[in-house]
């Protein structure tokens, strides 16, 4: 049975000129007793959400931090985290959103690069941050956010006397957040978004998923899904915040909370969700949108999904810089593609020499939208390279078919060039993942004197699998061009993954170079 679209349309979405802080007050006035946020401990209404934000704002203002100063936010998804982000904006602070996976040198680098004067970590992550705060030259305060607490607690003070800080720019007008990119192709960059771009993104995201009173299950950390929170603030939707990704917990939440949108599933996690539903079916009739992003979804999973869920698994493509630019919809879905352009987004596909691509021809994706990021924090050189005349050079390769659907072909920096042919690692990985014994696969290029590069595959098999590397090569050769068949297949117990869950191909290349 197919999931049904709900018919009661929203009537209290906010005016498009409102900031997200203003949108919160708007929803609190128009729907005070409706659910706003749900986490693993409690649920609160819009009136309670606004009240807690006011309380937290007052506590932050009492610390005498200056408007425009940066505060590092390091937390797992929770009501407290959402409240703190909104309170920082209300107090005029810029949130530096740190991945829950960040620690050690990476965390210190991001705090120092942003010029953060305060670090706020929740109870599970503060001990990780505490180890590096003394290395950050601008750091003044360490703040602890306990579960259930209305306001953060000052637990550490630092002095910057004698530590000169140079090269730190003034924040651009209206700056709301600095979000560090996932860094799968290089050092993470501080992506800047303004209050205006975040609100505009919230409006755009909602128009794509239809203006109904959705219950949105937020799976990925808020640092990467801030646009989903914006979406709920703009439209008065309920956000169900999942603290840690767990397939069985997710399925139980969909059934119990009657979630209508799940945002978003990395392919490897989507596979676990599918297996969880296979083992113990739950009632998922309410869910209209199962959104997958972050990497290519195996064709086999897309096909099998519909046998256990009433709604399809929908692929899209998003970035920290532009949010979700491409999407498939329940009534307009082409499996294997990343979908069509979202309303308001413009795209160009260009060759290496800048020529526009024709239908079916692969090129780099350039994007332009009203909510595009404003640049990279304190990195004018990279900003000038990737943001040109209002167009963002994504570094993604794709082609467009005659019906306007886009098909992801890989990352420019990860493309393998063998005998002059361009090979997408994802294309080869998908072929490997079609084999019943393969659980995970990662493909990278290895320098080769004769061919330039040759593909090498790292593969994790199911327990007790008997398939050999030669058998896998034969299997792949029937599905990809000859130059895409891995020269070598290495069996591993696990694949390295970046902090967003993507296969870390940079780490795989480093493993090759160290052998």
Q: Is 167 exposed, middle or buried (0-12, 13-18, 19+ CB in 10 A)?
A: exposed
Q: How far apart are alpha carbons 225 and 341 in whole angstroms? A: 19
Whether the per-residue pLDDT at 145 is higher than 90: the answer is yes
Q: Identify whether 8 is part of a domain.
A: no
Residue 110 and residue 29 share a domain: yes
Residue 419 and residue 403 share a domain: no
Residue 444 and residue 386 share a domain: no
Q: Identify whether 15 is part of a domain.
A: no
With beta carbons less than 8 A apart as the criterion, state whether 151 and 59 touch.
yes
Q: Identify whether 183 is part of a domain.
A: yes
Domain range for 504: 415-514
Residues 363-406 have pLDDT tens digits of 999 999 999 999 999 999 999 999 999 999 999 999 999 999 99
Q: What is the pLDDT of residue 126?
A: 94
Residue 51 and residue 119 share a domain: yes
Here the tokens at position 299 are 């064709």
Residue 489 and residue 444 share a domain: yes
Residue 289 and residue 165 share a domain: no
| Residue with token string 């932050």 | 60
Residue 338 and residue 478 share a domain: no
Half-sphere exposure in the Cβ direction for 216 (13 Å, CA): 30
Total number of domains constituting the chain: 3
Q: What is the pLDDT of residue 375?
A: 96
Q: Identify whether 205 is part of a domain.
A: no
Of 392, 411, 430, which residue constitutes the final position of a domain?
411
We report the CATH number of the domain holding residue 426 as 3.30.300.30
Residue 447 and residue 404 share a domain: no
Residue 67 and residue 24 share a domain: yes
* Pairing state between β 35-38 and 452-461: unpaired
With beta carbons less than 8 A apart as the criterion, state whether 86 and 52 touch.
no
Of 393, 411, 429, which residue constitutes the final position of a domain?
411
Q: What is the pLDDT of residue 209?
A: 58
Q: What is the mean pLDDT of the chain?
A: 89
Residue 433 and residue 396 share a domain: no
We report the CATH number of the domain holding residue 163 as 3.40.50.12780
Residues 73-95 have pLDDT tens digits of 999 999 999 999 999 999 999 99
Residue 404 and residue 436 share a domain: no
SS3 378: coil
Who contacts 148 (Cβ-Cβ below 8 Å, separation ≥6)? Answer: 41, 80
Rounded percentage of the chain residues whose pLDDT exceeds 70: 92
Question: What is the 3-class SS of 296-363, one letter each residue?
Answer: CCCHHHHHHHCCCCCCCEEEEEEECCCEEEEECECCECCCCCCEEECCCCEEEEECCCCCECCCCCCE
Whether the per-residue pLDDT at 161 is higher than 70: the answer is no
Q: Identify whether 219 is part of a domain.
A: no
Q: Identify whether 445 is part of a domain.
A: yes
With beta carbons less than 8 A apart as the criterion, state whether 303 and 335 touch.
yes
SS3 381: helix
Rounded percentage of the chain residues whose pLDDT exceeds 90: 69
Of 411, 432, 454, which residue constitutes the final position of a domain?
411
Q: How far apart are alpha carbons 329 and 316 in whole angstroms? A: 9
Q: What is the pLDDT of residue 6?
A: 39
Q: Which range among 29-43, 189-203, 224-238 has the greatest average pLDDT?
A: 29-43
Q: What is the dihedral of CA 338, 343, 345, 351, to 10 degrees?
A: 50
Q: Identify whether 229 is part of a domain.
A: no
Residues 190-229 have pLDDT tens digits of 999 999 999 998 887 655 555 567 999 999 998 888 989 9
Which range (6-15, 104-113, 307-316, 441-450) has the least confidence? 6-15
Residue 496 and residue 398 share a domain: no
Q: What is the pLDDT of residue 24?
A: 97
Q: Identify whether 370 is part of a domain.
A: yes
């Amino acid at each position: 049975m197919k999931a049904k679209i709900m018919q009661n349309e929203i009537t209290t979405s906010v005016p498009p000129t409102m900031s997200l802080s203003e949108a919160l007050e708007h929803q609190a006035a128009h729907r005070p007793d409706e659910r706003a946020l749900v986490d693993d401990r409690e649920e609160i209404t819009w009136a309670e959400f606004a009240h807690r934000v006011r309380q937290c704002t007052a506590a932050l203002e009492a610390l005498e931090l200056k408007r425009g100063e940066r505060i590092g936010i390091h937390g797992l998804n929770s009501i407290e985290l959402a409240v703190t982000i909104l309170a920082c904006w209300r107090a005029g602070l810029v949130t530096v959103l740190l991945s829950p996976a960040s620690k050690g040198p990476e965390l210190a680098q991001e705090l120092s690069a942003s010029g953060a004067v305060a670090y706020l970590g929740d109870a599970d992550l503060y001990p990780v941050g505490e180890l590096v705060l003394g290395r950050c030259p601008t750091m003044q305060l360490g703040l602890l956010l306990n579960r259930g607490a209305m306001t953060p607690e000052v637990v550490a003070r630092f002095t910057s006397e004698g530590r000169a800080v140079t090269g730190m720019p003034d924040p651009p007008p209206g700056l709301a957040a600095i979000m560090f990119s996932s860094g799968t192709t290089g050092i993470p960059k501080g992506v800047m978004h303004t209050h205006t771009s975040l609100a505009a993104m919230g409006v755009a995201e909602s128009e794509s998923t239809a203006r109904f009173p959705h219950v949105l299950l937020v799976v990925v950390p808020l640092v990467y899904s801030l646009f989903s929170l914006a979406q709920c603030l703009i439209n008065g939707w309920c956000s169900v915040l999942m603290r840690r990704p767990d397939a069985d917990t997710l399925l139980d939440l969909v059934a119990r909370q009657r979630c209508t949108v799940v945002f978003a599933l990395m392919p490897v996690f989507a596979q676990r969700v599918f297996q969880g539903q296979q083992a113990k079916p739950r009632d998922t009739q309410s869910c209209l949108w199962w959104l997958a992003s972050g990497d290519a979804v195996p064709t086999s999973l897309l096909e099998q999904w519909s046998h256990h869920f009433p709604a399809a698994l929908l692929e899209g493509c998003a970035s920290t810089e532009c949010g979700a630019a491409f999407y498939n919809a329940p009534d307009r879905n082409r499996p294997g593609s990343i979908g069509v352009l979202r309303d308001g987004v413009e795209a160009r596909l260009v060759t290496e020499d800048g020529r526009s691509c024709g239908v079916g021809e692969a090129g780099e994706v350039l994007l332009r939208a009203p909510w595009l990021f404003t640049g990279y924090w304190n990195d004018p050189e990279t900003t000038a390279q990737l943001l040109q005349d209002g167009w963002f050079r994504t570094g993604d390769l794709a082609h467009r078919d005659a019906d306007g659907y886009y098909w992801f072909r890989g990352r420019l920096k990860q493309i393998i060039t063998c005998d002059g042919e361009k090979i997408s690692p994802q294309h080869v990985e998908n072929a490997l993942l079609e084999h019943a014994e393969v659980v995970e696969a990662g493909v990278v290029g290895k320098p080769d004197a004769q061919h330039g590069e040759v593909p090498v595959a790292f593969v994790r098999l199911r327990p007790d699998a008997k398939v050999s590397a030669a058998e896998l090569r034969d299997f792949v050769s029937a599905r990809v061009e000859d130059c895409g068949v891995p020269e070598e297949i290495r069996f591993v117990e696990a694949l390295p993954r970046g902090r967003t869950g993507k296969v870390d191909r940079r780490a795989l290349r480093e493993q090759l170079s160290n052998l």
